[in-house]
């Protein structure tokens, strides 16, 4: 059982399922709360998804430049999310 779980994670397939969950969360929130909410949540969900992609790339020994790209996207999305939150806190 443990070996199967380890293979599932090391293959990267686990992170594909996590990303599918994030996409479903995005759709559910858009339907439930409306598309206007996406403006606030999209940077946060993008940062999280980019980090999941980064972990998958690292685990599957992908070329370093793809990992760097995914981490850069996560950083940019996090910066946008932080700026939005600071603006709304004023």
| Confidence at residue 54, expressed as pLDDT on a 0 to 100 scale | 97
The two three-digit tokens of residue 18, written as one number: 């996590």
| Confidence at residue 40, expressed as pLDDT on a 0 to 100 scale | 83
The whole-number average pLDDT for the span 73-90 is 93
At 38, the pLDDT band (50, 70, 90 cuts) reads confident
| Confidence at residue 60, expressed as pLDDT on a 0 to 100 scale | 94
| Confidence at residue 67, expressed as pLDDT on a 0 to 100 scale | 97
| Mean confidence (pLDDT) of the chain | 92
User: Are 22 and 56 in contact, with CB atoms under 8 Å apart?
Assistant: no
| Confidence at residue 37, expressed as pLDDT on a 0 to 100 scale | 79
The whole-number average pLDDT for the span 30-37 is 84
> pLDDT digit string (tens) for 53-76?
999 999 999 999 999 999 999 999
Cβ neighbours around 48 below 10 Å, total: 18
């Amino acid at each position: 059982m443990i070996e199967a779980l380890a293979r599932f994670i090391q293959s990267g397939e686990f992170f594909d399922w996590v990303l599918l969950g994030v996409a479903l969360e995005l759709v559910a929130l858009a339907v439930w709360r409306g598309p206007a909410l996406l403006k606030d949540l999209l940077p946060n969900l993008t940062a999280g998804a980019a980090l999941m992609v980064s972990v998958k790339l690292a685990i599957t020994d992908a070329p370093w430049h793809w990992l760097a790209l995914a981490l850069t996207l996560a950083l940019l999305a996090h910066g946008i999310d932080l700026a939005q939150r600071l603006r709304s806190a004023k």
